[in-house]
């Protein structure tokens, strides 16, 4: 091993790799389940909900594009807050983002075990999830290029699964399944859009890999916008096909809506494969993103500096990766994380509120001249901040209380640890 000062992270990821990280994080198992819940709210207008959610997410995505172009450093949201707002705020942004994504990754690993049980029902649920975490941690250690290559393959498979479902289903779409278009009015359409917003918020993981992406000033904004656009198009096509084939009432009453649509064509197994690869790539990119935030925090002496060391052989922050995978392993083996989804949403959305604020600060700071400039800047950042805050405050009260408690723990850690580090210097 070598200290990070001597061994920098390797810039070996191209635009396709960065795009794949985004698609790997965005297109998870959620689309396979979420569409049924959203359809129950909006009816056939769920297609409109998907579009509204994509447009809403794009405002925050534009902030990430500007910030990623101006500050192409490992750590993403952490670095934006640290540089543009205040070191404590940056630490808390990283703290919240990592906490939310660790739970998300652990949940996805359990989702992988759930989908695998369709094919191998006698396997132990928790052991499968744990083995997956160990496996993706090992892949991440062996190199960002290897991780990206594996992720590219799995992203291609899950995108092809959804395209196959659309290609087969479009020929069986019935116009009568879209009338009435808004059976419950317009407000439930907005509620469904708020729900679907969470299916888009994986794109920030691209920004965490900034120091391993070639030409990051251009490729990070491109990858973020492409990932969001491709996923939005896929979501719209899938929701249109599913409603048109099965009818919204049938989708709303199903716990596995896309599997139900696929089974109408004898392709139920395809959705099982899609679920497996979708959850796998979410766990893979989750460890990838978390470890880079820990790496950036350690580099600034806000957590043990050992986590900022980079392997000379593999060019990856091995200790940060092991730390990320270790936390997820404990969660999947010893904790019930099924009720923590709302906590994930609250923490990630709150970090997005502050990211949009950082984008506003970027606009005022004349030191920065990002290669990517959002249209109508800085209006996008203000809209993104308001939307993210509204969604963050719409989660269950218990999630907000736990989230606030975690933020307090983060503040205490920041000041105690910084005092400890200064005393050692």
Residues β-bridged to residue 13: 213
pLDDT in 10s for each residue of the chain, 425 residues = 444 445 677 788 899 999 998 998 888 777 877 788 889 989 999 999 999 999 999 999 999 999 999 998 888 899 999 999 999 999 999 999 999 889 888 988 988 888 888 788 888 888 999 999 999 999 999 988 888 899 899 999 999 999 999 999 999 999 999 999 999 999 999 888 888 888 888 888 899 888 889 999 999 999 999 999 999 999 999 999 999 999 999 998 887 788 889 888 888 888 888 889 988 999 999 999 999 999 999 999 999 999 999 988 888 899 999 999 999 999 998 887 766 778 888 899 999 999 999 999 988 877 888 889 888 888 999 999 999 999 888 888 898 999 999 999 999 999 998 887 766 65
Give the distance, in angstroms, between the CA of residue 358 and the centroid of all CA atoms in the same chain: 20
CB 206 within 8 A of CB 21: yes
Question: What whole-number distance in Å separates Cα of residue 345 and Cα of residue 85?
Answer: 23
Give the H or E element holding residue 109.
helix 87-119
Backbone angles phi, psi at 396, to 5 degrees: -60, 150
Report the 10 Å Cβ neighbour count for 247.
Answer: 17
What is the dihedral sign for C-alpha 376, 47, 97, 278? negative
What pLDDT, on a 0 to 100 scale, did the predictor assign at position 6?
54
Q: In angstroms, rounded to a whole number, what is the distance separating the alpha carbons of residues 294 and 208?
A: 10
Residue 213 β-bridge partners:
13
- The pTM for the full model equals 0.89
Question: Do the beta carbons of residue 106 and residue 418 sit within 8 Å?
Answer: no
- What are 294's two structure tokens? 């820990």
Model pLDDT, residue 124: 85
Three-state SS across 384-395? Answer: HHHHHHHHHCCC
Task: State the first-to-last Cα distance of the chain, in angstroms, to the nearest integer.
Answer: 23
Angle 259-112-225 (CA atoms, 0-180°, nearest 5)? 80
Residue 145 sits at φ, ψ, to 5 deg, of: -65, -40
3-class secondary structure, 2:
strand
Instruction: Return the closest-CA partner of residue 43 out of 177, 209, 144.
Output: 177
CA distances 75 to 113, 147, 311, 396, Å, are 29, 17, 18, 28
Say which CATH architecture domain 15-424 belongs to: Up-down Bundle (1.20)
Token pair 């949403």 is found at 345
Q: Six-digit token pair at 219?
A: 């490729």
Q: Is 41 helix (H, G, I), strand (E, B) or coil?
A: helix
For the chain, the structural domain boundaries read 15-424
Q: What is the pLDDT of residue 2?
A: 45
Distance CA 390, CA 392 (A): 6
Residues 75 and 299: their CA atoms lie apart, in Å, by 10
At residue 422, the pLDDT reads 63
Cβ–Cβ < 8 Å for 336, 299: no
Please give the structure tokens belonging to residue 367: 């030191």
């Amino acid at each position: 091993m070598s200290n990070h000062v001597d061994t920098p992270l390797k810039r070996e990821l191209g635009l396709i790799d960065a795009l794949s990280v985004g698609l790997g994080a965005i297109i998870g198992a959620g689309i396979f389940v979420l569409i049924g819940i959203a359809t129950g709210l909006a009816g056939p207008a769920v297609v409109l909900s998907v579009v509204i959610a994509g447009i809403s997410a794009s405002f925050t995505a534009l902030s990430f594009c500007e910030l990623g172009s101006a500050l192409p450093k490992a750590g993403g949201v952490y670095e934006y807050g640290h540089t543009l707002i205040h070191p404590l705020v940056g630490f808390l942004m990283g703290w919240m983002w990592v906490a939310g994504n660790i739970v998300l990754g652990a949940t996805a690993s359990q989702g992988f075990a759930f989908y695998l049980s369709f094919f191998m029902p006698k396997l132990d649920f928790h052991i499968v999830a744990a083995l997956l975490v160990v496996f993706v941690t090992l892949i991440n250690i062996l190199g960002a290029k290897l991780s990206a290559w594996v992720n590219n393959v799995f992203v291609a498979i899950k995108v092809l699964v959804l395209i196959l479902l659309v290609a087969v289903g479009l020929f069986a779409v019935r116009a009568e399944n879209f009338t009435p278009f808004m059976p419950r009015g317009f407000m439930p359409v907005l509620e469904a859009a708020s729900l679907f917003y969470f299916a888009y918020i994986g794109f920030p993981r691209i920004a965490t890999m900034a120091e391993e992406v070639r030409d990051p000033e251009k490729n990070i904004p491109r990858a973020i916008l492409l990932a969001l656009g491709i996923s939005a198009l896929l979501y719209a096509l899938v929701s249109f096909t599913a409603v048109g084939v099965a009818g919204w009432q049938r989708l709303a009453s199903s716990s596995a809506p896309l599997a139900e649509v696929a089974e109408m064509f004898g392709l139920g197994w395809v959705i099982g494969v899609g679920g497996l690869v979708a959850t796998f790539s979410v766990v893979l990119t989750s460890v990838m993103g978390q470890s880079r935030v820990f790496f950036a925090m350690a580099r600034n002496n806000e957590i043990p500096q050992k986590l900022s060391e980079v392997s000379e052989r593999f060019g990856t922050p091995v200790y940060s990766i092991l730390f990320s995978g270790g936390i997820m392993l404990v969660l999947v083996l010893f904790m019930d994380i099924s009720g923590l989804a709302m906590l994930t949403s609250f923490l990630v959305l709150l970090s997005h509120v502050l990211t949009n604020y950082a984008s506003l600060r970027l606009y005022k700071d004349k030191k920065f001249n990002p290669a990517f400039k959002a249209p109508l800047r800085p209006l996008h950042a203000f809209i993104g901040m308001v939307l993210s805050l509204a969604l963050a405050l719409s989660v269950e009260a218990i999630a907000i209380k736990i989230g606030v408690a975690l933020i307090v723990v983060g503040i205490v850690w920041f000041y105690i640890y910084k005092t400890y580090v200064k005393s050692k210097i």
